[in-house]
Amino acid sequence: MGLLEGKKGLILGVANEFSIAWAIARKLHAEGAKLGFTHLPGDKMERRVRKLADPISAPLITPCDVQNDDDVARVFSEASQALGPLDFVLHSIAFGPREDIQKPFVEASREGFKLAMDVSVYSLAIVARHAANAMPNGGSIATLTYFGGERVVPGYNMMGVCKAALDASVKYLAFDLGPRKIRVNGLSAGPVKTLAASAVGDADKLAGLYEMASPMDRNIDRDEVGSAGLFLLSDLSSGITGEIMHVDCGYNVMGSPGRAIEKVKALFMKKAESLDPALAARLRDDDEIKRL
């Protein structure tokens, strides 16, 4: 018998098999949970989600426009009919115009910022409002965030500001819904290759930085994020709410580049050795190089 046998939940935000939301959904399903799914409006997005959800016999696959309050209400009405009372909801939704994300925040357009905040932040509030009504026995809501909302991550730009607002929303929603026995938490994952991450110009560089600088000397993988999502959405985390859980091999605790400096130095010297052994020998004795 699985950990979530008899539990039911709604997953918002699966785009394809590489989505973090799908990594979490797989873990939930493996533990016996019955899942419903939403997708972006449009036949193409429906086909992508059905390809994943049909094989696990999902009783609900429906479009959802989180910018439309009536549509969100419809989704939760359908979820209640198809699944019964919900035990958990996963919110994995974020969007901003690519042209605004890929420029410095100071140059982002007003309209682009409003759209990004509406889809990436307010959507959690409207989803939580309807989720609460669909969880008469209490439950868990989790959203996906990123460290760029806590510290400046070059290249993350406007989305970092949105994630900061999302993190604050988690805390206020946790307070609002606590008396109804509903927990609200955020899951902050390290860099993972997803459709959303492709809009961030330095995504590959970020993954390499995590491998260099994190205490565990590596980056995370999807399965690790999936397991953390399972934890937050299950009763195993029954005493946790209003938290941002980092799944990043400890990268968020670092106050300096740590061992990354020595790793970069070693790579530099190896390259120099392959190009010019004499130059490499001189560099090893150079005071500036030694200080690195």
Catalytically active residues are 146, 156
Secondary structure letter of residue 21 according to DSSP = H
- Pairing verdict, β 88-91 and 8-12: parallel
For the packed helices 222-233 and 20-30, what is the interaxial angle rounded to 10 degrees?
Answer: 60
Other C-beta atoms within 10 Å of 268: how many?
14
Question: What phi, psi does 103 have (nearest 5°)?
Answer: -120, 160
- Tell me the C-alpha distance between 61 and 36, whole Å: 6
Residue identified by tokens 């991450």 is 197
Using an 8 Å Cβ cutoff, are 184 and 177 in contact?
Answer: yes
* Amino acid sitting at position 237: S
Using an 8 Å Cβ cutoff, are 249 and 220 in contact?
Answer: yes
Secondary structure letter of residue 236 according to DSSP = G
- Tell me the C-alpha distance between 126 and 206, whole Å: 31
DSSP of 66-101: TT-HHHHHHHHHHHHHHH-S-SEEEE------HHHH
- Tell me the C-alpha distance between 184 and 231, whole Å: 13
Tokens of 147: 């460290």
